[in-house]
Chains A and B, each alone.
Chain A
Amino acid sequence: MQMIKKREKFPKIVFLILAMIPVCLLLCIVILLVVNSTLAINQLGLFGEGKLFSTQISGVFTSGQGQYGLIPAIWGTLLIVVVSMGIAIPVSMAMAIFASEFKLGLLGQGMRTLLGILGGIPSIIFGLMSIVFAQLVIIPKFTGAGLSGNQMPPPGMYWWTPNSLPYLTSTLLGGFMLSMLIIPFLAPLLDDVIQNVPHSLKEASLALGAGRWHTLTNVTIPYSMAGIISASGLGTLKAMGDVVIVGMVVGFESSLPYPLFDILKSTAPLTSTGAGFSGGFSQGSFNPLRNSAANFTGLVLLVLAFGILGLVAYLQGRYKRKFPK
């Protein structure tokens, strides 16, 4: 009997060890972030002129002044999240409604498969192909192309590269490319949420004489609001956390735009600013202070992410109380 109990216990311990690995690694990541950012906090200070929470920031490739202000980067994160989610939420909502509410049979199924395939496209491809949309929209509309004597885009919108191709950078384009990344991720989540609305509710509304559209706006969407909010929260986190698109389209340097809501200027968000701070091993020598500032950027990002997760949980609770199951 004891042998059997021992044999029962062994897999349990193995599975416990395996299951605790992600928890431990997460703790390790957070601890490493805090430990590594202490150098920047000690050496630079938190609040004040030229410190970590200020608007002074020196260029990435001209480092040495030691100014690592993060306020422009936080503002850039806010701008790019607003632009990208402002495009992504309505479009993916429309896709979800198209796939699940309109009974179109094969078309809805095809839409789901298409979204699954588009979801596999890595983010670097959107960053690489941003030049297409720059050529389609940004150059003809916003740079004064065709204006005699002014062939160059205005300062702050382009990035000169060695093969003399101007890569246009603006928060607007970055937000659009990010929304192209987020839509295949967000639309299936919203699709699931809308499909989970009980049929009896919709049928009751239809039986009382309400039209399809009325049922959609007054029954389906309010009932699934909690799920929509949590899905949008996940999408926001994805938009905040992306580095590659933002680094390729918006750039690594950020200064506070004037006027503040100028999305035609490039304001790098926290992720790419931190990547510029760090530089890693690929950009010449390793600088401990810069790496530490990058770790502090990561810490700020982590705190913001936890804040958004908490906000989503709070809002979900409110909507669940409104529509108890």
Chain B
Amino acid sequence: MKSNTIVNSTQQYSGNNTMPKYYNYKLEKVIAILAMVVTGSGIVLGCLSLSLNSLDFYSKPLLIIIGISLLALFAYVHYGRTKEWKLLVFSLMAIISAYVLNMLPNYLYGFHINAIIHRSFISAILLLAVSIPSFCYSMYYCLGAVPRAQDLSRYPLILLPIVLMLIAYGILVFRLFALGIPNINWHMLTTPYEWQTWQTIVWQNGWPTWVPQQLHQSGISNFILGTLLLMLMTIIISLPIGIGVGIYITEYSSGFLANVIKTSCTVLRSISVFILGLTAITIVRYSQNTFMSRIFAGYFYDASGNIHQANGSFFTAALIVSLLVIPIIARATEEGIRSSPREMAEGSYALGASKWHTIANVLIPWSLPNVTTGLLLGCAEATGSLATIWFISGTGQYGIGPFNQVTSLSYFIFYARGDIDMNFHKVEGIYQYSAAVIMILITVILSLAVVVLKKRLNKRLKGM
């Protein structure tokens, strides 16, 4: 019995070889390249017809061509070399989807779906679904169907989403710059936004009359200054606390307390910014009309010189934003100290230095590059955070100071969109994209500074 099975297996190996004598590898390659070209154009057409309606006209013939070329590849490979049923499946899918597209009307609606869908959307999805996998298969046969080809033929699956997403980012940034840069001018950068109305008493014919006065300037300098002030105050509040947390976790902590602090930092980082915004409202509301209102709620003088209570000061906003920044700086400090070689600290102890002396002179300089990185990331966070200061911010037209009404570029961008305040929009609406460009420039400069500064500080402080 045993020998019989062995004989059978060898028979299967040598006897049942279906490979014909005259198998033309070059012809296979040519057919595969043809299929690759056709399916590749299918991918391109599918991506394009995600936005262009008029390309719907070409999708049906292209699907039929894809089906025919895949059928040819299937026939040549299947009867010449390996049993590959998947190619047949994809070619049938292409032909069936062409048939389905032929049956569909131009516009699809009904089924309680809240849209009128154009047919080209469905044709785009069908094209992508058919041509991406069949492109991979035809690439596999184009490369000779060796094991290395199997790896290479999967590259499009990874490259395609990356390329599409980067194109989306490119469209976004290009469009933003195209809309924003033409409106940037010196006047707008240096003039503060102001919109005040008040009344003055003028004596006419021996009688006092109320004359309405108006002061209006359009510009965004106060929003830019507000953003910079918010950044500065956030740094001042969060830097000592963040470094303290990082040092305590690594140097002083006993296990349980360190875990509690770490967990609370993680939670602070991951809870919604909306909750922090609510907290800001609560702080301002509790402090209004009390002795703390100058600090937390803020104040301003209007055009007539009267003092008013504002809805939230820069100090409150910086407190709330620093809750987001503290975990970043703490984590950066922790990483920096953990990466320091233990011998350096021990050498310092051996020379008789105290713990505080070691921390201040050995560990903090070592972790300075990481801290700087965390700090700049925190600055970017403070620049962009609208949700935390959303509810308490104003236009900042009465002056920028630590205890004035908080304002920021992001607030301007949101409200210049014209959802709520009409007057604000009509005058300032043209500047919203310019403000967005300035904001994006600030954040990009910060994140480039991270890269450069980290390298320089590493070289200077660590010698690497």
A positions within 8 Å CB-CB of B:
4, 7-8, 10-12, 14-23, 25-26, 28-29, 32-33, 36, 90-91, 94-95, 97-98, 102, 113-114, 116-129, 132-133, 136-137, 140-147, 150, 154-157, 161-163, 167, 170, 180, 183, 211-213, 234, 237-238, 240-244, 248, 257-259, 262, 264-265, 271, 274-275, 278-283, 286, 291, 294-295, 298, 301-302, 305, 309
Asked whether, in the complex, the Cβ of A116 is within 8 Å of the Cβ of B451, the reply is: yes
* A-B contacts, 12 listed (Cβ < 8 Å): A16-B248, A19-B245, A22-B268, A29-B271, A121-B440, A122-B440, A124-B439, A128-B432, A248-B417, A258-B112, A264-B113, A282-B393
Interface stretch of the complex, out of B69-77, B95-103, B278-286: B278-286
Interface residue? B260 (CB, 8 A):
yes
B positions within 8 Å CB-CB of A:
50-53, 107, 109, 111-118, 120-121, 147-148, 150-151, 154, 157-159, 161-162, 165-166, 168-169, 171-172, 175-176, 240-241, 244-245, 247-249, 251-253, 260-261, 264-268, 270-279, 281-282, 284-285, 311-312, 323, 326-327, 330, 354-356, 359, 377, 380, 383-387, 390-394, 410, 413-414, 417-420, 422, 425-426, 429, 432-433, 436, 439-440, 443-444, 446-448, 450-451
State in angstroms the CA–CA spacing of A170 and B359 once bound together: 53
Contacts A113-B451, A213-B154, A259-B112; is A15 near B391 (CB within 8 Å)?
Answer: no
State in angstroms the CA–CA spacing of A17 and B257 once bound together: 12
A68 to chain B, nearest CB (A): 15
Asked whether, in the complex, the Cβ of A120 is within 8 Å of the Cβ of B443, the reply is: yes
Q: Please give, as numbers and ranges, the residues of chain A lying within 8 Å of B393 by CB-CB distance.
A: 282
Q: Please give, as numbers and ranges, the residues of chain A lying within 8 Å of B422 by CB-CB distance.
A: 162
Asked whether, in the complex, the Cβ of A129 is within 8 Å of the Cβ of B175, the reply is: yes
A168 to chain B, nearest CB (A): 11
For B166, the closest partner residue in chain A by CB is: A114
State in angstroms the CA–CA spacing of A95 and B163 once bound together: 10
Asked whether, in the complex, the Cβ of B150 is within 8 Å of the Cβ of A211, the reply is: yes
Partner of A20, one of B52, B261, B272, B392: B261
Partner of B274, one of A120, A167, A180, A298: A298
Partner of B429, one of A10, A17, A141, A163: A163
Chain B facing A: main interface SS: helix
Asked whether, in the complex, the Cβ of B418 is within 8 Å of the Cβ of A278, the reply is: no
Q: Please give, as numbers and ranges, the residues of chain A lying within 8 Å of B436 by CB-CB distance.
A: 124-125, 128-129
For B245, the closest partner residue in chain A by CB is: A19
Partner of B443, one of A122, A128, A129, A240: A122
State in angstroms the CA–CA spacing of A262 and B359 once bound together: 58
Known contacts A18-B248, A118-B169; can you find 18 more A-B pairs with CB under 8 A? Answer: A11-B355, A23-B264, A29-B275, A33-B279, A91-B162, A120-B446, A125-B176, A128-B432, A128-B436, A143-B115, A144-B116, A183-B165, A241-B274, A242-B273, A264-B114, A275-B390, A281-B284, A309-B266
